[in-house]
Amino acid sequence: MKTLSLRKEDAQHDWYVVDASDKILGRLATKIADRIRGKDKPTFTPHTDGGDYVVVINAEKIQVTGKKFDDKKYYTHSLYPGGLKTKVFKDIIEDKPEYIIEEAVKGMLPKNKLGKQMFKKLKVYKGDNHPHESQEPQIWEPKL
């Protein structure tokens, strides 16, 4: 029996909408990363982008466990001496909640060109509205 390898021309990309209200950040991010990468499909091939598009709504209602709301830090560096900047989770959730989910999922994707291509299939929005109704996305309730 031959092993079938998915080609990028044969990949079928579906659209899914997931509501992040009252979901735990890490658990939701792993499910989203698997869906974007295509690991939940029987045609999964590590070197091919065979995953689906995921639209996340209500990003500002994401939850974290323990003391992470006050203690979790996000770091950026300008690549200049002394250029380290630190922000706390509770400040980012007020200003730009999309960033939190994007960074969590990005860290779970491959660190190469293929991972960057896969990351573009994640769309995160604050609130209930999103501009992807024309793609007819299916509602997806991941089992967490």
Determine the pLDDT at residue 4: 84
Residue 9 resides in a domain: no
Residue 6 resides in a domain: no
Q: Give the integer Cα–Cα distance in Å for 144 and 92.
A: 24
Average model confidence (pLDDT) for the chain? 96
Looking at 58-137, which runs of residues are DSSP E strands?
73-77, 84-88, 122-124
Residue 73 resides in a domain: yes
Residue 124 resides in a domain: yes
Residue 78 resides in a domain: yes
- Enclosing domain of residue 40: 15-139
Residues of the chain with pLDDT under 50: none
Residue 38 resides in a domain: yes
Say how many domains are in the chain. 1
Determine the pLDDT at residue 59: 97
62 within 8 A of 101, measured Cβ to Cβ: yes
DSSP SS3 for 137:
coil
- Beta bridge pairs of residue 84: 77
Determine the pLDDT at residue 1: 79
CATH, residue 122: 3.90.1180.10
Residue 66 resides in a domain: yes
Residue 116 resides in a domain: yes
